[in-house]
């Protein structure tokens, strides 16, 4: 019994440690101008060594995942390289797997349990950096998608007031709401000021943020420029189209809610209801002597 309690406490301690590391990494999530997350600064040499050792082999073995990591690093505006993420995967997997395996062996004195626990936690630590990068990219893209209609409206109003596209974007960068979309427009504005054409800068921004709504916007602006149509009118139409897509996406998510609720209902709510209903009946039956009747086999 004491061994089980110790094992449970060790598991809770490891779980708390993992939750704390996750909270620190989430807090250290950075933008275009930020520094590297804390774990990459603390274990810089170890992660770099592991990345050089295993990074090329892992990239060759999982090319699709490697490309997805690179895209997510760009979309999430994380100041990291793909080889650093691979290095963190190897380092975290090796360290956590070894620590958990040794602790389980010390508590249970069973190599099978230690090996199984170490491999399991090593796989979790190996997968976590990829999942974290993907989550950062999704969260940043979601923030940009939500703020995009307002940003386009602000640019449209400025252009309708007589300003050109560059001046309208400058108004957004100077006076618009803070967020990743404003930062990306700031990068685009600096590229335009340094000599890059408006279309090239918008295409580069589209490649960075990786949003279908913005790709459609850039395509419409290019077509309007080539045909001599009003860019302000095109932006207004695109803003309404983005809002319509957001409403449709929200409606689809709302329609999925009843089916998603079936799983927790079946697993947690219904058994609890059955226990609440059946427990008093069983208790009264036992107190009335029916329990002894069933024990005797009804004889």
pLDDT band for 134, please (50, 70, 90 cuts). Answer: very high
Residues 109 and 199 in one domain: no
**249 domain residue, yes or no:** no
Does 123 map to a domain? yes
Examine the domain organization and report whether 32 and 121 are in the same domain.
yes
Cα 42 to chain center, whole Å?
A: 23
One domain, residues 55 and 102? yes
pLDDT score recorded for residue 281: 78
Q: What is the pTM of this model?
A: 0.70
Higher pLDDT, 130 or 280: 130
Query: Which among 140, 168, 192 is the end of a domain?
Result: 140
Does residue 282 sit within a domain? no
Task: For residue 260, tell me if it sits in a domain.
Answer: no
pLDDT at 133: 93
**Which tops the pLDDT comparison, 57 or 291?**
57
Residues 123, 27 share a domain: yes
Examine residue 168 and state whether it is found in any structural domain, yes or no: yes
Same domain, 118 and 30: yes
Mean of all residue pLDDT scores within the chain: 80
CA distances, 204 to each of 61, 142, 208, 216, 291 (Å): 29, 19, 6, 14, 76
Query: Same domain, yes or no, for 130 and 45?
Result: yes
CA dist 107 and 103 (Å) reads: 6
User: Does residue 265 sit within a domain?
Assistant: no
pLDDT at position 297 over 70: no
What's the structural domain count of the chain? 2
pLDDT of residue 59: 85
Q: Is 147 among the domain residues?
A: yes
pLDDT band at 165 (very low <50, low <70, confident <90, very high): confident
Give per-residue burial for 151-182: e unless 16+ CB within 10 Å, then b: bbbbbbebbeeebebeebbbbbbeebeebbbb
pLDDT tens-digit readout, 239-269: 888 888 878 877 887 888 777 777 777 777 7
Winning range, highest mean pLDDT, from 88-102, 162-176, 236-250: 88-102
For residues 151 and 86, state if they share a domain.
no
24 and 122 in a single domain? The answer is yes
Of 242, 258, 288, which marks where a domain is finished?
242
Name the residue range of residue 17's domain: 2-140
**Mean of pLDDT values over 75-87:** 88
Instruction: Mark whether 31 and 122 lie in a shared domain.
Output: yes
Question: Does any domain span residue 270?
Answer: no
Share of the chain above pLDDT 90, in %: 6
Q: Is the pLDDT of residue 2 over 80?
A: no
- Domain check: are 78 and 205 in the same one? no
For residues 11 and 129, state if they share a domain: yes
Domain edge (last residue) among 105, 140, 175: 140
Within this chain, do residues 126 and 172 fall inside the same structural domain, yes or no?
A: no
């Amino acid at each position: 019994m004491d061994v089980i309690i110790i094992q449970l406490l060790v598991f809770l301690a490891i779980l708390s440690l993992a939750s704390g590391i996750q909270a620190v990494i989430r807090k250290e999530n950075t933008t275009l101008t930020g520094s590297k997350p804390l774990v990459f600064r603390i274990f810089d040499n170890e992660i770099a060594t592991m990345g050089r050792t295993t990074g090329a082999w892992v990239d060759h073995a999982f090319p699709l995942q490697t490309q997805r990591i690179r895209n997510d690093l760009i979309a999430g505006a994380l100041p990291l390289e793909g080889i650093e993420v691979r290095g963190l995967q190897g380092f975290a997997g090796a360290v956590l797997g070894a620590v958990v395996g040794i602790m389980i062996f010390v508590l249970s004195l069973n190599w099978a349990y230690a090996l199984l626990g170490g491999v399991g936690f090593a796989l979790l630590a190996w997968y976590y950096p990829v999942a974290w990068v993907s989550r950062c990219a999704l969260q940043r893209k979601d923030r940009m998608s939500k703020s995009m209609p307002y940003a386009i409206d602000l640019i449209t109003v400025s252009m309708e007031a007589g300003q050109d596209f560059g001046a309208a974007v400058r108004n957004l960068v100077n006076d618009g709401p803070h967020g990743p979309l404003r930062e990306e427009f700031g990068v685009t504005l600096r590229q335009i000021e340094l000599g890059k054409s408006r279309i090239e800068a918008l295409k580069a921004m589209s490649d960075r943020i990786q949003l279908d709504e913005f790709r459609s916007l850039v395509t419409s602006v290019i077509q309007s420029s080539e045909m001599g149509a009003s860019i302000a009118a095109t932006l207004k139409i695109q803003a309404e189209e983005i809002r319509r897509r957001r409403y449709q996406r929200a409606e689809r998510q709302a329609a999925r809610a009843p089916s998603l609720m079936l799983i927790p209902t079946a697993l947690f709510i219904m058994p609890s209801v059955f226990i609440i209903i059946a427990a008093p009946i069983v208790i009264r039956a036992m107190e009335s002597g029916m329990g002894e009747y069933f024990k005797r086999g009804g004889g």
